Chain A
């Protein structure tokens, strides 16, 4: 019995600068709870653009996005922020950690924003997440004191802190060497298999994609295979 958590209905997107070009063309697909999906396609085919729309950060599109059964059309900026906070975890190519805060506090920030648990509780949960990723020993360091691979793992812990409906990644291993890339991939796989975490990961790494449950392949703004 699978439950749909993310649905794209006839999503199209145009850029108007310098000339109007269509970068996404009638995108339709669904993701079920527990799915580990990869999105592949040539550079420039619209993978990142699609991910930004699915993540609610880009609101300038045609068609409809449903997250947890709710349409994201016509929602206010603050409401969309709330959706991102509560239901979506992000991992980008770059880690985007705040150097002013400790590793632990970086992981805690989205949890503190959500305010569902007390601060101690959130700290405890942050430690748990760091433990899953095998970097709890770095908790009290500053992000600029840890390695690149560890930074990306911290970013994953941050994405997990609010137990999101789905984790979205835009080439999360793109900046990592082979070894660290494998570590991150194995973490995703473990999250999917052990914790039933839904994942949608954009990648151009064929090997990476082959190991996911499902591959969405894109070309020139269209899905060519699901």
Chain B
């Protein structure tokens, strides 16, 4: 214990004697840790924001029926042609397949499943929006307004009008902002759509929504489930999609498979549906880490340099310490101590500076019509980044100190003393 205290005090004295260089090396660590924290916080904030754009509005699992031909064609049933290559496929997909049968029972089952946090039924149907002589292709999402709002914060994206009017006003529609502009439609106007069955129906515009994704805002619209069922001439039990949110998003792929078999419908999980999106997040995180680590390595070289210089200058001191009874291990610890002191002090200041820089970015106004709920640049204050910063700064400074310290511990006092 006393030995440790002694070594620390020697490290400290050597540090103080070279205060300027020590500070420069420390500032290198501070700067790189601060940049590392700021970058990660900002990038992660951006990731969260973009995740919010997609993940908050996307079901973790979507149940639906895909139009697809029967797997078994009549010819396959024939014993005679069993070993032949069959290319006759006379049984075509049926239109009715879009509907999820028994959806009441499925929804009741899902509501009682503890892994599920919420469900919302939906009907997706293609329509033409009529503008004078022109028809625009688009879609109507028939939704359970309250369930949709609970699961996907629907009201956040309804920028004009009140979302609940969709439920209370019969035959009403909320149009995507881009779509509404093309149609020159204002709130209160009646617009006309042509359904896939060829019928023309008039609907009342009660609001506009803006998702932040152009493709959606230019072609999509929302109506209540009952309005949509009427539009399609279907009964009150007709729905095409069941959207499911889970308590743990990571279970989505496995649960999707489970439900697919259980209910005999198609099921797609969010990870599969948005894999390209995941890649973007991963790349951003990767960039932050590589920049941070690069900066830290540069800072590590700073520490390496100052230690090498110190050892070169302090050869005499090392020699006399060894001559008077300090072992190579003691000398090694003295210089590792110097490196770690620079790393820990520089790193701690770096954490504070990083927090400050993140906070500053958090104050910069960032207004975009695409994201009505965002007011400033996004920052994620995840304590994990700070932990990683601490670990990184200690590890790099340790390695930066390792080789110089080893060199110091191997100094042969006889050679130094003879040289005088």
Which A residues lie at the B interface, using CB under 8 A?
A: 48, 52, 55, 57-58, 77-78, 81-82, 84-86, 90, 92-94, 96-101, 109-110, 112-115, 119, 158, 170
Q: Within 8 Å of chain A (Cβ to Cβ): is B406?
A: no
With A82-B327, A90-B324, A109-B321 given, name 10 new contacts (CB 8 A): A48-B418, A52-B417, A52-B418, A55-B323, A57-B413, A86-B325, A96-B319, A109-B324, A112-B2, A113-B6
| With A78-B329, A82-B325 as contacts: A58 and B414 at CB distance below 8 Å | yes
Interface residues on chain B, size class: 20 to 34
A110 and B420 within 8 A (CB)? no
CB-nearest residue of chain B relative to A53? B414
CB within 8 Å of A: which B1-57 residues:
2-3, 6, 13-14, 16-17
Selected from A57, A98, A110, the residue in CB contact (under 8 A) with B414 is A57
Closest residue of chain B to A175, judged by CB? B420
Contact: A77 with B3, CB < 8 Å? no
Does A84 contact B324, Cβ atoms closer than 8 Å? yes
Cβ contact within 8 Å between B323 and A84: yes
- Chain A CB within 8 A of B301 CB: no
B304-344, CB < 8 A from A: 316-317, 319-330
Q: Shortest CB–CB separation between residue A165 and chain B, in angstroms? A: 13
- A99 to chain B: closest residue by CB: B17
Residues in chain A near residue B321, CB distance under 8 A: 109
Q: Does the CB pair B2–A115 fall under 8 Å? A: yes
| Contact pick for B420, options A55, A57, A94, A158, CB 8 Å | A94
With known contacts A98-B320, A112-B2, A81–B325 Cβ distance under 8 A? yes
Q: Which residues of B contact A114 (CB under 8 A)?
A: 325
A52 near B414: Cβ-Cβ < 8 Å: yes
A53 to B16, CA, bound (A): 35
Roughly how many angstroms separate A81 CA and B325 CA in the complex, as a whole number? 4
User: In the assembly, what is the distance between CA of A158 and CA of B199, in Å?
Assistant: 106
Residue among B17, B322, B413, B418 with the highest chain A CB neighbour number at 10 A: B413
A85 to B330, CA, bound (A): 13
Residues of the A chain whose Cβ atoms lie less than 8 Å from the Cβ of B17: 99-100
Q: How far is the CA of A109 from the CA of B322 in the complex (A)?
A: 11
Q: How far is the CB of A47 from chain B (nearest CB, A)?
A: 12
Pairs A-B, 9 closest by C-beta atoms: A85-B325, A96-B320, A81-B327, A100-B13, A78-B327, A110-B324, A100-B17, A94-B420, A115-B2
User: Which residues on A sit within 8 Å (CB–CB) of B319?
Assistant: 96
- Contact between A96 and B316, CB atoms less than 8 A apart: yes
Residues of B within 8 A of A84 (CB): 323-325
Residues of B within 8 A of A92 (CB): 323, 417, 420
In the assembled complex, 26 residue pairs joining A and B whose CB atoms fall closer than 8 Å, in A order, are A52-B414, A52-B417, A55-B323, A57-B323, A57-B413, A57-B414, A58-B414, A77-B327, A77-B328, A78-B327, A78-B328, A81-B325, A81-B326, A84-B323, A85-B325, A90-B323, A92-B417, A94-B417, A96-B323, A100-B13, A100-B317, A109-B6, A110-B324, A110-B325, A113-B3, A115-B3
Measured in the bound complex, the distance between the Cα atoms of B319 and A113 in whole Å is 15
Contact B317 A98, beta carbon cutoff 8 Å? yes
- What is the minimal beta-carbon distance from A83 to any residue of chain B, in angstroms? 8
Specify which chain A residues have a CB less than 8 angstroms from the CB of B326 in the assembled complex.
Answer: 81, 85, 113
In whole angstroms, how far apart are the Cα atoms of A78 and B16 in the complex?
28
Residues of A within 8 A of B327 (CB): 77-78, 81-82
CB distance from B13 to the nearest CB of A (A): 4
CA distance A200 to B88 in the complex (A): 111
B257 to chain A, nearest CB (A): 62
Are B14 and A100 interface neighbours, CB within 8 A?
Answer: yes
B7 CB, nearest partner CB in chain A, Å:
9
Least Cβ–Cβ distance between B392 and chain A, in angstroms: 30
Q: Produce 1/0 per residue, B395-420, CB < 8 A to A.
A: 00000000000000000111001101
